[in-house]
Chains A and B, each alone.
Chain A
């Protein structure tokens, strides 16, 4: 199955308004969009490693949560800039759960009592982020016909 612009346009993973801008930039500089996406993938992978380290560190203090929140915020910004809507959403969850804020009225988050619970929430959001990231990566790999 080949991935065309139309596929991206209709994909719920992509915010087409934003992503379209990237593609337009290719007119001046060929491969610009792809290079940005590659940068993002690299950046995301680095961030994922850091997040996993924190989640698995058995440190459930506020500092850990704060760091997780910052990482979530960081990746959220990048994802948003590329229009990777779903990744962005999940990163926002990481960011807010890291601040112990059940902003989306999530059931688990609503019942979170202590830092441990919040770490679990972050972990859940992180899993979702990974899933959406992998999906997006696959989609974009196919679109650019390049291994990301």
Chain B
């Protein structure tokens, strides 16, 4: 009795706790067995015939659960028909526990053996879940012989005399325990896996919601801006029509000021950089272009799809005489966002000859519009068209610290890049929506929206532009965090010019060197970007890739087909017999005079066409056509999958962080020592 109790209470626990390695188990088991032996010696040895076996016999004789456990036909073995039911019902009733494996172990200890049922028989009689146990002395018709069934456990003396036997027994037992343990662990494991899957799907959902929220935030911000813009228009026109009206309307002056300030900020940020102004087409602003702009304008009215960018273009290129046109995109915007807006009023403004009052704020318009399409970023082609002409490397710098901006910009310009600077995550998203950049340097800690989140939004429509986290903290968990948001790599702060050079080069951007940090001259250029004098012929690999069109011409059309037609037209009128997919490019006469490239690109002749830079194939691969045919919408938000994260992590060279003399130079050393 006592023995049995000990068995049933000790075994399961012992199983769970001591399974780390087999040796250990053996040792602990020996100890346990010894203890048990002690109790057996002192208490239950005299009564020889074991309670366990008696109970077993009684159970079978009483036959209360004959559909679960019963004698075999000839009475020399017994069958457990359903182990589950047996565990649930019979064990608690007779043995005061519900641990089947413990029961089986006990049987084994008393010398019972499981009878193997052949697979054939199993299938034939549907005995899948049946266990049959047998003992030579355990017979239905010979109750007296059960007195001979004894625990196989050797007494203490035996264990001394008969070590090998003992060991064998222990081995067997430990293997069984291990089996139990494995079963238990497997169950646990599958539970955990389930939990993880649930959590994962939860976090996916949350992520999606979060991204949608961010995008919505952007949208509402933009709507706000365009609203306040139109309010301003209204206000101005009312002022001109007669100031009386304005005093009667309670006009939210403060709000207007605020939003203006916002817009202003945005604008100045972008405009502080002399190179950021993507084009200065006003230079070659001739009638031709004006006409085209007018055509464009019609396009805008006809289909609202891509109006914003075209509006943008002419806002910069239209001379002041076209004021009314410059306002119209706003109308469009308002129409699409808020169908109930005072369209009539706005139209009035358009017709009002005095509209020139808000010409002053015209750049705001363009910026405003720039920001108006967070959830339908411009198509790939248009983003490429928006690149500043003549720019070899177009870089977005997202940073809120003035000093870092100045330094970093200086470095980048030194490497022949054009730089656009924005100050927070929201502006970064808007900027990337409009223009395809070759490279994005992104601070992490910023006002409005942090760099990581901004990146994940950007990744929903731009998957391939390298986005580099600039940050002072690069612990492993930070890296994983950045990667999971779709950031490509990391540039530790503070960085030197060489660090910057290295990171550019690492991502296949070939900086033009004014004073190379290394002795290695950079003459090899990817994708036919010759840096020599004269002309370079570039064969574009795939047919029908509009992105290779000269931006100047492309700018004026909307549909790809139109692009092709127009392109043919223009190339012929330009007396430049360039095949559609072959671009001739002329470089500045002095290749070392990089500064001439850094300043606002001067497009002086019509027959100088410039190739869209390496960004089209950032990783040196053939451009993927599908990329260009799938404009992303709000539903297409990309939540980085686990695989993505893994891949992204793989591209971050973690080891570099541990190698102080890595190509990143001394910055890690500096940080590591802190």
Residues of chain A touching chain B, judged by Cβ–Cβ distance below 8 Å, are 15, 17-18, 21-22, 24-25, 28-29, 32, 35-36, 39-40, 43, 70, 73-74, 76-78, 80-83, 89
Contacts and interface: CB of A to CB of B under 8 A. Distances in A.
Contacts of B403: 36, 39-40, 43, 77-78, 81-82
B493 A21 contact: no
Interface stretch (B70-78, B172-180, B406-414): B406-414
B494 A83 contact: yes
Given A39-B402, A73-B445, A89-B674, 5 more contacts: A15-B494, A28-B410, A77-B493, A80-B493, A81-B403
A17 B410 contact: no
A78 B401 contact: yes
Contacts of B472: 76-77, 80
Interface in B263-322: none
Interface string B650-674: 0000000000000000100010001
5 contacts: A18-B496, A25-B407, A78-B403, A80-B472, A83-B494
A80 B404 CA distance: 9
Contacts of B401: 74, 77-78, 81
Contacts of B406: 35-36, 39
Nearest to A74: B401
B96 interface: no
A104 to B, nearest CB: 9
B35 interface: no
B598 to A, nearest CB: 11
B505 interface: no
Interface string B397-424: 0001111101100100010000000000
What are the nearest 8 A-B pairs in CB distance?
A80-B494, A78-B403, A81-B403, A77-B401, A81-B494, A81-B404, A21-B496, A78-B401
B497 interface: yes
A61 B396 CA distance: 37
Contacts of A40: 403
A18 B414 contact: no
B607 to A, nearest CB: 33
Nearest to B669: A17
B493 A81 contact: yes
Interface centre among A17, A73, A82 (most CB of B within 10 A): A17
A18 B410 contact: no
Interface in B460-517: 472, 493-494, 496-497
Contacts of B402: 39, 43, 78
A25 B640 CA distance: 40
A36 B411 CA distance: 14
A23 to B, nearest CB: 12
A22 B401 CA distance: 16
Contacts of A17: 496, 666, 670
A28 B414 contact: yes
Contacts of B410: 25, 28-29, 32
B407 A22 contact: yes
Nearest to A76: B472
Contacts of A32: 410
B442 to A, nearest CB: 14
